[in-house]
Amino acid sequence: MPQRLRSILLPLTALSWLLLLLSALSHSGAGPWLGAWPQWTTQLAQGVFVLGVFLLYRYHRSPLQGQAFVRLLKRLLLGPGLLALVCIGLHLLERLLEPGGGTGQASLLFTSIYTVNLGLFVVFLARTNYAWRALVLFRSTPRLQREWTVFEVLLGATLLFRLVGVNPPDYLAYPLVAGLGLFGVYLSGHQKWVAYLSQREKWRAILLQSGLLLGLLVFVQYFRVTQVDPQLIAPQPQYAFLLLTAFFSAFYALMGLLVTFFNMPIADVIEQRRNEILRLQRLTQIIQRGQTTTEVYRILLESAVQTVQADAAWLDLDPAHAGIDAADATQYHCLTPDQADAMRARLQGHELPEGEYITNDLNARIGFEGTSQHYRSMLQLPMRGLHFNYGMLYLLKLEPHTFDREDLSILQTFTSQAVLSIENLELVRTSLANQRTQEELKIASQVQDSLIPKNLPTDNWFDISSHSLAAKEVGGDFYDFLHLPGRRLAVIIGDVSGKGVTAAFHMAQMKGIFHSLMQENPLAKNERDKFPVPSRFMAQANMALTHCLEKSSFITSSLYIIDYEQGGFVFARAGHCHTLYYHALREEVFYFDSQGLGLGIIRNESYEKHIKNQFYDYSPGDVMVIYTDGIVEARGGDGTEEYGEDRLKLRLEESYFQEADEIKNFILDDLNGFTHGHPIHDDQTLLVIKFKSAQPLPLA
């Protein structure tokens, strides 16, 4: 309702009631100072007041919120209806105490209370009428909505005709009033809302509707008696409208009461089905609220007991598949563990045939013969998932023959939903774990990437190019460089056994060991003894890794210390791939034949015996290729053929004259062509160092 229209109607309605009061005082003789008012003023004031009240409620928001039917009835009874009854009580008391009550001239108080009651009666009828409209139109069809509109228009016409002075003849007026009454009877048959009441709400609705009927009857009786009082005005001008409205209000309440009452016998069944749906919905929503598997099983047990109204129950779960601890593998309801153990012992070895889950007389079941059981009926239901059996649900009743196929059907739905919820919970956990793993791998990959040197050492004496590719998110290959005093460069390459976060962790450890051991020793006797030679480094690294490397893990590595001032290098191989070398003067490509065990294989001081240093002088144009086994063991062809050392050697023979970066790309292009169509199964690292003939720039 537009606020502007409401702001007009409210004062107009209040003013019309005030005029009605003054008119009543004038006609009753209680206000001789008002003089004699004409009859039409009473008719107009009363008509405008009734019209204003009904329009205000007509355009007010619906009194029915959702499905709060009982609350609507309660507000009707405790609203103006109850207040009006109090006013009528005061009026009757005033008439009893009035010395000339009913025969003499009416008092000011008497007439005022009468007019107040008239106003409250109209308000009561308006509220009741539009409350019934909300109930009639609850989930109604468009046709019913149109019928209600016609009913309202016809009722309003009876009021307006009186206001404008149109009085149809009796032969026309009576059939019209009777027709409208029958129309109201027809509309009173729409009591669809009753079906949505629970058993308890039905009883409350019956009481509230009885109270409303009583209020209406009291009102009607009051005005029926007072209308013959010559000292008072009766609502005669609006008889037809008020009579029809009061009739509809009373008849709809009566019909609602009867329909509700006669629905009581089937209320239990409806209530049971409603509860079954609600419990099933509750189970369905468990996963959305993030509850645990233990809570799912507990709710399943409670819902099953309440649905079939079992006297006792227990739930046996398989901890191996049910996602539950062994301590919570059995849940009881109104049953002691000893009672359950006794029944389990009798059930053992005497299972029901496949598909039969109901025993309606335990005394006659195999395993229970000759005994007198406290519980006579049993329903046992397996909880089967797609891949596993999660457990068995047992429900018990005291009386025999109390479980039926319908109980079994609804419980099968419950257990299926519970198993689905458990499996969904497991999927969610797995998904979260995978997500966490992916996040950890992402972090590990970032850490590993930060450990790979981004800036390669540059000098006029050599040219270096590198390549590193991990087979998975996180790899186990590593390499690093470190400038040493005396124009020396330490180069290390390694491969950690295994992959993933653990390999990346060991890779970081190895990098830390490399930087720690290659620090200057202040106690060294000469300049060159300040840093360990490769074999000594490997021995010390092996000792350090003994305390942090798993027994099943090891690291292969090679360490090169290039002395480009002397034109030579020394290296040691700890189980790593052979070093490929091109000798420019001899124009020969070969592999260094050196021995050495991987780090972590022997974890004592004897390890040093298995590591040897190898010295070599290089010439300008020499090329050294260092790599991990992911290069030479890369698979191609039919998936079983390996790239191999020979093929790598051939590629260097074909490209040794190029720059280091070009040699690396040439080898990688050949490698990628060889492995085309096959996934990389191991980390690949390739370093190419080409020694130059250029002399270092003179110092300034």
How confident is the model over 594-616, as pLDDT tens digits? 888 899 888 888 888 889 999 99
Phi, psi of 380 (to 5 degrees): -120, 135
pLDDT at 104: 45
Top-confidence range, 2-6, 160-164, 279-283, 600-604: 600-604
Cα–Cα distance between 541 and 190 in angstroms, integer?
91
Given a cut of 80, whether residue 523 has pLDDT beyond it is no
The angle, 0 to 180 degrees and rounded to 10, between the axes of the packed helices 239-286 and 108-136 is: 50
Asked whether the beta carbons of 256 and 194 are under 8 A apart, the reply is yes
Cα–Cα distance between 593 and 499 in angstroms, integer?
28
pLDDT at 263: 76
Nearest to 240 by CA among 325, 169, 340, 173: 173
428 contact partners, CB below 8 Å, separation of at least 6: 287
Nearest to 408 by CA among 365, 379, 375, 378: 379
pLDDT at 102: 45
Q: CB neighbours (10 Å) of residue 322?
A: 24
> Which of these ranges, 5-9, 181-185, 371-375, 614-618, has the smallest mean pLDDT?
5-9
- Kind of pairing between the strands at 488-496 and 477-484: antiparallel
Q: Identify which has the larger pLDDT, 685 or 121.
A: 685
pLDDT category of residue 111 using cuts at 50, 70 and 90: confident
Helix/strand/coil for 611: strand
Nearest to 118 by CA among 91, 95, 153: 91
Given a cut of 90, whether residue 120 has pLDDT beyond it is no
Helix/strand/coil for 216: helix
Cα–Cα distance between 565 and 561 in angstroms, integer?
12
Q: How far is CA 266 from the centre of its chain?
A: 36
pLDDT at 280: 66
pLDDT at 431: 83
Q: Per DSSP, what are the bridge partners of residue 614?
A: 571
**Residue with the two structure tokens 């206000």:** 31
Q: Residues 31-58: pLDDT tens digits?
A: 677 777 777 787 788 888 888 888 888 8
Distance of CA 447 to CAs 63, 442, 599, 628, Å?
A: 65, 9, 23, 20
pLDDT at 164: 63
Q: Residues 370-380: pLDDT tens digits?
A: 778 889 899 98
**561-577: average pLDDT:** 89
Cα–Cα distance between 576 and 591 in angstroms, integer?
13
DSSP 697: P
pLDDT at 1: 55
**161-168: average pLDDT:** 66
pLDDT at 99: 52
Cα–Cα distance between 507 and 500 in angstroms, integer?
11
Share of the chain above pLDDT 90, in %: 15
Cα–Cα distance between 696 and 56 in angstroms, integer?
103
Q: Identify which has the larger pLDDT, 344 or 278.
A: 344
pLDDT category of residue 227 using cuts at 50, 70 and 90: low
DSSP 319: T
> Which of these ranges, 96-100, 300-304, 363-367, has the smallest mean pLDDT?
96-100
> H or E stretch including 520?
none
pLDDT at 484: 84
Given a cut of 60, whether residue 100 has pLDDT beyond it is no
pLDDT at 234: 45
Q: Residues 616-656: pLDDT tens digits?
A: 999 889 999 999 999 999 988 777 889 999 999 999 999 99
440 contact partners, CB below 8 Å, separation of at least 6: 501
Mean pLDDT of the chain: 81
Given a cut of 60, whether residue 318 has pLDDT beyond it is yes
Given a cut of 70, whether residue 283 has pLDDT beyond it is no
**Residue with the two structure tokens 């292009």:** 669
**Exposure string for 167-184, b = 16+ CB within 10 A, e = fewer:** eeeeeeeeebbeebeebb
pLDDT at 665: 94
pLDDT at 239: 64
Asked whether the beta carbons of 629 and 658 are under 8 A apart, the reply is no
pLDDT at 48: 85
Given a cut of 80, whether residue 63 has pLDDT beyond it is yes
Cα–Cα distance between 617 and 608 in angstroms, integer?
24
Q: Identify which has the larger pLDDT, 663 or 360.
A: 663
Cα–Cα distance between 579 and 610 in angstroms, integer?
18
Asked whether the beta carbons of 592 and 558 are under 8 A apart, the reply is no
Cα–Cα distance between 381 and 396 in angstroms, integer?
12
**577-589: average pLDDT:** 92
Given a cut of 60, whether residue 156 has pLDDT beyond it is yes
Q: Residues 145-155: pLDDT tens digits?
A: 899 899 888 88
**55-80: average pLDDT:** 83
Given a cut of 50, whether residue 167 has pLDDT beyond it is yes
Asked whether the beta carbons of 448 and 507 are under 8 A apart, the reply is yes
Asked whether the beta carbons of 279 and 303 are under 8 A apart, the reply is yes
- Kind of pairing between the strands at 488-496 and 555-563: antiparallel
pLDDT at 699: 44
Q: How far is CA 187 from the centre of its chain?
A: 43
Given a cut of 70, whether residue 10 has pLDDT beyond it is yes
> Which of these ranges, 90-94, 569-573, 609-613, 689-693, has the smallest mean pLDDT?
90-94
> Which of these ranges, 99-113, 236-250, 355-369, 452-466, has the smallest mean pLDDT?
99-113
Tokens of 657: 């004259």
